[in-house]
Amino acid sequence: MWKKKLEDLLNFEKEFHPEARIEDYYKIVFQSIFGPGHLVKDYKQMFHFLEEEWDVVIPDESFPFVQDISINVPVFRLSLQKCKAEAVSLQLIADVFFQGSSRFQNPLQEKFPEILVDLAEILVDSKFGFTQGEIEQVLPLNQGSDFPLKHHSWVYRDLYHPHYRVILGSLLHACIA
């Protein structure tokens, strides 16, 4: 049921970020399934981290506002580079991100171990170029629950400069309207 959407998401990520590594694919799938809720517990602390990141973000009109990372629930990566270039309010971004973190629910969270198995199967395909051994070293397969949040790979960070917030689809209009 989710495998086709998962495969589409990974293929799009490969096209958009061709040098993505296994941990980058894990991260996008993790964000699609768990949304922004895993990051936000305290508004003031969240705003402080966002403000620090905002200070180093270089505005860039060429970035798309959003990257659709949905598998089953509408969720998007909102580009901070584009938001800064378009003078989107930092307060608005923080509010929408925080609201989404408390509202996000996804019934596939319980299926995440199965989704990881599908992710591993897809990444073994020659177009991604990963071996089974590499995948097993990076992905938390057979873990059961309490999956780790992973950072983007150094390659991804150096090439693509990812600065975004994961936004619930129903709240996205507030940022790009």
pLDDT top residue among 149 and 23: 23
Per-residue 3-state assignment (H helix, E strand, C coil) for 24-61: HHHHHHHHHHHCCCCCCCCHHHHHHHHHHHHHHCCCCC
Q: State pLDDT tens for residues 112-129.
A: 999 999 999 999 988 898
5 pLDDT tier (thresholds 50, 70, 90) = very high
On average, the pLDDT of the chain sits at 91
- Tell me: the pLDDT tens digits for 43-58? 999 999 999 999 999 9
Which residues constitute the domain of residue 43?
Answer: 3-176
Question: pTM value?
Answer: 0.93
Q: How far apart are CA 46 and CA 48, in angstroms?
A: 5
pLDDT at 175 > cutoff 80:
no
Instruction: Give the N- to C-terminal CA distance of the chain in Å, as an integer.
Output: 32
Q: How does residue 38 score in pLDDT terms, banded at 50, 70 and 90?
A: low
Domain count, the chain: 1
pLDDT of residue 176: 73
- Say yes or no to pLDDT of 147 above 90: no
Alpha helices in the chain (DSSP H): 3-16, 22-34, 43-56, 80-85, 90-103, 112-123, 132-138, 154-160, 173-176
- The values of phi and psi at residue 68, to 5°, are -75, 115
